[in-house]
């Protein structure tokens, strides 16, 4: 294999965590991956990966080589893009991860516009409500919701959205419309496990006062699609981000309850792996998401910025709540 292919194989192996996973992503046989790593180590005269029954780990030399190889591959992609006359770095594959419902409602319907802007870019969208390992899955940027907390990832806040209590007109006609938060205790709640961890105490704010109410929920769901289906079927009320029920709120199929009371807001983040600054491809995608969510077009100069006021790196990875 040529030197670049060896580097790409090594980077893919580190990011996927195994020879077999790298082989699947590269669409080659596992022996070819193992042989490539052996050739690379022989050429460099140093061990890059440690193999054990638990899997693969990088040596100190391997980690340093991985970071350098990533930069070298990005520079080659940039050179290819410049030769083709397209924007630097906006070539090759961009792997994105997003929650199923958010992507279905707010990302996929607009993705063609992004692809039309960058025709040399191949976009792969992974739909997953779980907080997957970005490095292991080769994700360039993930859209996550909730409090960032401590994280080894680098993240940029795209926008902040409202949380609200929602229900269908049919359910409200049967069970009554709550007038104050305490009234919610008499209603059936659909609990979103990803958002609340199963908590059934909801806190509301109004005029500098805070009120908490414990709701009764016979149904708990671990995916937003299930919460949407249950609420729309009249099963009960739910707390949701404004993004989760955007179409139904617009057409009246679902109503917001207690609009004069506020719930804690929710942040939408673009998260990048390994604490590195995002690639130009990932930054361009983040700017596009910001554009379609809040209507703010981002200039090309801003895309080339590093860590801004809304971008941060923390010390250890956490699960971000949707």
C-alpha distances (whole Å) from 309 to each of 41, 270, 312 are 41, 14, 8
Contact status, residue 264 vs residue 203, Cβ threshold 8 Å: yes
Check whether residue 109 and residue 49 sit in a common domain.
no
Distance CA(20)–CA(30), nearest Å, equals 5
User: Does residue 131 belong to any structural domain of this protein?
Assistant: yes
Check whether residue 169 and residue 228 sit in a common domain.
yes
How many domains does the structure of the chain reveal?
3
> For residue 233, how many other CB atoms are within 10 A of its CB?
12
Residue 86's DSSP bridge partners are: none
pLDDT given for residue 149 in this prediction = 55
Check whether residue 174 and residue 122 sit in a common domain.
no
Q: pLDDT of the chain along its 322 residues, tens only?
A: 789 999 999 999 988 888 998 999 888 999 999 999 999 999 999 999 998 777 788 999 998 898 888 878 877 766 666 665 544 557 888 999 999 999 999 999 999 999 999 998 899 999 988 887 787 777 889 999 887 654 566 888 899 999 999 999 999 999 999 999 999 999 999 998 876 555 678 899 998 889 999 998 889 998 899 999 999 999 999 999 999 999 999 999 999 999 999 998 999 999 987 655 567 888 899 999 999 998 754 443 344 333 343 454 433 333 333 3
What's 214's domain CATH number? 3.40.190.10
User: Does residue 79 belong to any structural domain of this protein?
Assistant: no
Check whether residue 50 and residue 197 sit in a common domain.
no
What's 37's domain CATH number? 1.10.10.10
Check whether residue 33 and residue 173 sit in a common domain.
no
Q: DSSP letter at 277?
A: P
Distance CA(108)–CA(129), nearest Å, equals 15
pLDDT given for residue 84 in this prediction = 58
pTM over 0.75: no
pLDDT given for residue 81 in this prediction = 60
pLDDT given for residue 112 in this prediction = 95
pLDDT given for residue 85 in this prediction = 54
C-alpha distances (whole Å) from 254 to each of 185, 196, 237 are 20, 21, 10
User: Does residue 155 belong to any structural domain of this protein?
Assistant: no
User: Does residue 285 belong to any structural domain of this protein?
Assistant: yes
Distance CA(184)–CA(284), nearest Å, equals 43
Check whether residue 137 and residue 282 sit in a common domain.
yes
User: Does residue 210 belong to any structural domain of this protein?
Assistant: yes
User: Does residue 99 belong to any structural domain of this protein?
Assistant: yes
pLDDT given for residue 172 in this prediction = 96
The residue behind tokens 């491809």 is 281
User: Does residue 141 belong to any structural domain of this protein?
Assistant: yes
Check whether residue 141 and residue 276 sit in a common domain.
yes
Check whether residue 187 and residue 221 sit in a common domain.
yes
pLDDT given for residue 217 in this prediction = 83
For 194, the domain range is: 163-257
Check whether residue 106 and residue 60 sit in a common domain.
no
Check whether residue 245 and residue 298 sit in a common domain.
no
User: Does residue 94 belong to any structural domain of this protein?
Assistant: yes
Check whether residue 95 and residue 64 sit in a common domain.
no
pLDDT given for residue 82 in this prediction = 61
């Amino acid at each position: 294999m040529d030197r670049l292919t060896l580097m790409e194989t090594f980077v893919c192996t580190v990011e996927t965590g195994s020879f077999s996973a790298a082989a699947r992503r590269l669409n080659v046989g596992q022996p070819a991956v193992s042989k490539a790593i052996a050739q690379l180590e022989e050429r460099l005269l140093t061990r890059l990966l440690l193999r054990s029954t638990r899997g693969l780990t990088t040596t100190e030399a391997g980690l340093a080589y991985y970071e350098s190889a990533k930069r070298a591959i990005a520079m080659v992609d940039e050179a290819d893009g410049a030769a083709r006359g397209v924007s630097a770095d906006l070539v090759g594959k961009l792997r994105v991860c997003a929650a199923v419902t958010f992507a279905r409602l707010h990302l996929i319907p607009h993705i063609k516009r992004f692809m039309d802007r960058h025709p040399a870019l191949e976009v792969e969208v992974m739909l997953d409500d779980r907080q997957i390992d970005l490095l292991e899955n080769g994700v360039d940027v993930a859209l996550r919701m909730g409090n960032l907390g401590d994280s080894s990832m680098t993240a940029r806040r795209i926008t902040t959205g409202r949380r609200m209590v929602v229900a269908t007109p049919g359910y409200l006609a049967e069970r009554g419309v709550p007038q104050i938060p305490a009234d919610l205790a008499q209603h059936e709640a659909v609990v979103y496990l990803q958002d609340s961890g199963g908590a059934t105490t909801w806190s509301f704010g109004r005029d500098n006062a805070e009120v908490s109410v414990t709701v009764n929920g016979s149904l708990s769901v671990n995916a937003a699609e299930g919460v949407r289906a249950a609420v729309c079927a009249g099963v009960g009320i739910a707390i949701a981000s404004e993004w989760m029920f955007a179409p139904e709120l617009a057409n009246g199929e679902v109503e917001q309850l207690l609009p004069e009371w506020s719930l804690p807001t929710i942040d939408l983040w673009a998260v990048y792996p390994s604490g590195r600054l995002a690639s130009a491809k990932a930054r361009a995608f983040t700017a596009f998401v910001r554009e379609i969510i809040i209507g703010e077009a981002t200039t090309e100069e801003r895309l080339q910025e590093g860590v801004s006021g809304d971008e941060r790196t923390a010390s250890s990875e956490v699960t971000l709540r949707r």
